[in-house]
């Protein structure tokens, strides 16, 4: 499914790739010159660092496609078909409320675009400054806008285009899904868990062997 909108953190991805490059150079050096147990421990630590870089920097994303919205957080994924989306909000973070199987609702916070109150205040101040130099209609849209609110606006526009036509025309929320296929779901990511668990276990084993040796 071709994504209609993909949101990632550029800074986090740059930092993650920088660490991966650093780890690759060090692993190459260990492969050439490492011959002791300390090299084994360092290898395990570098692999764990790469796992952390993947989970925190490379994996998180918000992806919208024709069928629904996917929130990829460090360890878990939320998959929300458009009919199941109840609210998409943005303030200090992007928040999505969706219908679960059985008629309940769940709210999920996206790791991407999460900002501190201080950063949010700076973004709002910057938006107000920009609004002063814009026409009235544009200024009204820019007022108080942060990256999270702008993302929520874009996602709501996509959601409205893909919700049932009757619900959009009447300004009503779609009814809770009656089948599992129409409900949102929050699941663990096996790849993300393995990216931390496997090198983490190697670090423990290598450290124990170093202590015993």
Residue spans of the domains in the chain: they are 5-59+189-212, 82-186
- Tracing tokens 């629904």 back to the chain, one arrives at 68
* Position 178 confidence tier, pLDDT thresholds 50, 70, 90: very low
- Tracing tokens 């764990």 back to the chain, one arrives at 48
| pLDDT per residue as tens digits for the range 45-77 | 999 999 999 999 999 999 999 999 999 999 999
- Residue 78, pLDDT > 90, answer yes
d(CA 88, CA 147): 14
- What does pLDDT average to over the chain? 84
Residue 19 CB partners (closer than 8 Å, separation 6+): 49, 50, 53, 57
**What is the token pair recorded at 15?**
């930092």
| pLDDT per residue as tens digits for the range 111-162 | 998 766 666 566 666 666 665 665 654 445 555 567 888 899 999 999 998 8
Backbone angles phi, psi at 48, to 5 degrees: -65, -40
How high is the pLDDT of residue 176?
A: 47
- Residue 41, pLDDT > 80, answer yes
How high is the pLDDT of residue 162?
A: 83
d(CA 84, CA 178): 10
Helix orientation angle between 37-53 and 190-212, rounded to the nearest 10 degrees: 160
d(CA 73, CA 6): 14
């Amino acid at each position: 499914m071709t994504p209609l909108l993909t949101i990632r953190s550029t800074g986090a991805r740059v930092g993650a790739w920088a660490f991966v490059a650093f780890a690759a150079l060090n692993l190459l050096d260990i492969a050439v010159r490492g011959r002791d147990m300390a090299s084994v421990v360092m290898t395990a630590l570098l692999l764990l660092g790469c796992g952390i870089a993947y989970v925190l920097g490379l994996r998180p994303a918000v992806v919208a496609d024709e069928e629904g919205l996917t929130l990829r957080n460090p360890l878990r994924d939320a998959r929300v078909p458009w009919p199941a989306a109840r609210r998409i909000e943005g303030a200090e973070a992007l928040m999505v409320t969706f219908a679960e199987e059985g008629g309940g609702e769940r709210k999920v916070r996206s790791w991407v675009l999460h900002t501190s109150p201080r950063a949010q205040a700076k973004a709002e101040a910057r938006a107000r400054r920009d609004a002063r130099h814009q026409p009235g209609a544009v200024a009204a849209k820019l007022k108080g806008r942060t990256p999270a609110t702008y993302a929520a606006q874009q996602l709501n526009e996509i959601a409205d285009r893909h919700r049932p036509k009757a619900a959009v025309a009447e300004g009503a929320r779609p009814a809770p899904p009656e089948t599992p296929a129409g409900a949102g779901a929050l699941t663990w990511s096996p790849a993300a868990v393995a990216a931390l668990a496997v090198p983490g276990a190697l670090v423990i084993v290598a450290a124990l062997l170093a202590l015993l040796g």
